[in-house]
């Protein structure tokens, strides 16, 4: 039996590797402090019979700077911006929280109806409920004898 590797699986794996490398190497500021690259939020995705769900960790983000898209029925995009803290008359000793613009794209396990997606942002977590498209729901087929 010959193994098949689906393109979305390859794309997801490349995205995961990119995110991990960004987290590992980050960048260095002018004063030599290492700042983690704004790779995007950590995202959990799961589904049940009727919906696909997602949670994204976005502490310190202004909800008005968040944008959520579902494209092609199965690609979730979360983008936004974390504004850097600029303390007055202070010297940074450690700066690990990423700031700036970010974007995170993940493939969804099923087609969803983008017109019915619900998004809620509470305590730094974005909660998404994405109803599955009728085309993605399983259908019982009558077997004739």
Query: Which DSSP state fits 112?
Result: B
CA atoms of 120 and 17, how far apart (whole Å): 28
User: C-alpha 110: how far from its chain's center?
Assistant: 16
Q: Is the pTM of this model over 0.85?
A: no
Which residues 6+ apart lie within 8 Å of 133 measured at CB?
73, 110, 111, 112, 113
Confidence of residue 2 (pLDDT cuts 50, 70, 90): low
Distances (CA, A) of 125 to 32, 76, 83: 31, 16, 17
Token pair for residue 141? 């087929």
- Fold designation for 7-84+96-132: Immunoglobulin-like (2.60.40)
Condensed to tens digits (0 to 9), the pLDDT of residues 77-86 reads 999 988 888 8
Condensed to tens digits (0 to 9), the pLDDT of residues 79-133 reads 998 888 888 898 888 877 777 888 999 999 999 999 999 999 999 999 999 999 8
């Amino acid at each position: 039996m010959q193994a098949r590797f689906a393109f979305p699986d390859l794309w997801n794996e490349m995205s995961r590797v990119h995110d991990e490398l960004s987290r590992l190497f980050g960048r260095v500021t002018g004063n030599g402090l290492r700042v983690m690259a704004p790779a995007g939020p950590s995202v959990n995705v799961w589904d049940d019979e009727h919906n696909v769900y997602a949670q994204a960790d976005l502490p310190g983000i202004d909800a008005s700077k968040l944008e959520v898209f579902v494209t092609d029925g199965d690609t979730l995009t979360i983008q936004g911006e974390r504004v850097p803290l600029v303390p007055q008359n202070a010297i940074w000793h450690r700066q690990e929280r990423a700031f700036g613009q970010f974007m995170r794209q993940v493939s969804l396990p099923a087609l969803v109806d983008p017109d019915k997606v619900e998004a809620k942002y509470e305590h730094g977590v974005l909660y998404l409920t994405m109803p599955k498209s009728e085309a993605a729901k399983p259908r019982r087929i009558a077997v004739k004898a």
